[in-house]
Amino acid sequence: MLNQKPMYGYQMIKEIEKKSNGVFEFKEGTLYPILHSLEAANMIESYWWGSEGSRQRKYYRITPKGVKGLREKQAEWVTFRSAVDKILTGEAYAWR
């Protein structure tokens, strides 16, 4: 999500809820340890934004290193998914 635009925590939760039609539901608090560890690994970076006195939000955006990491993970996921697909469709034939 962050490779499209910088976001803050609450916004990410809302976005995940919307995009997954409520399939992904998790405790919101667990998002922050993940964000902080990604930041410690330099995959994303954060900055505070918001006018003085009113609400300050901590936005996160992806770094070049994060983009690279994301591509690798995506490639991994594609291989994994196609493997699972193959097994599942194979099983489907077997069952028939």
Partner 1 sequence: MEVITNEKLISYINEICSQVKFREVHREIELELKTHLQETVEEYLAEGFSEDEAVNKAINQMGNADRIGKQLNKVHQPKPEWSILVLSLFFVSLGLLAMFFIEKHGLLGFTPDPVPILFIKSFIFAIIGAAIITGLYLFDFRKIEPYSVHIYWGTVLMLVLSVFAGQPVNSTNYLTLGPVSINFVEISPLLLSIALAGILHKWDWDKSKKLLQGLLLCVMPLLLILACSSITAAIIYTAVCITLLIVSRAKPRAFLTLTSLVSGIIVFLIINTPYRLQRFMAFINPEKDPSGAGWLNLQLSQLINGSGSFGQGLTEKPDFVPGLHTEFVFSYLTFTFGWVAVGVLIALIVLFITRMTRVAVMVKNNYARLVLSGFTAIFTVQFIWNIGMNLGFAPISGVGLPFVSYGGSQLILNAAALGIISSIYRRRNIRHTC
Q: List 44's β-bridge partners, or say none.
A: 62
Tell me how far, at minimum, the Cβ of 40 lies from partner 1, in Å. 6
Name, in order, each residue with C-beta under 8 angstroms of 9's C-beta and a sequence gap of 6 or more: 28, 31, 32, 35, 58, 60
Judged by beta carbon, residue 18 or residue 55, the one nearer partner 1 is 55
- Indicate whether 57 belongs to the interface with partner 1 (CB under 8 A): yes
Q: Among the candidate windows 22-30, 68-76, 82-90, which touches partner 1 by CB under 8 A?
A: 22-30
Coil, strand, or helix at residue 4? coil
Q: Among the candidate windows 23-31, 66-74, 76-84, 85-93, which touches partner 1 by CB under 8 A?
A: 23-31
- Indicate whether 52 belongs to the interface with partner 1 (CB under 8 A): no
- Say which amino acid occupies 35: L
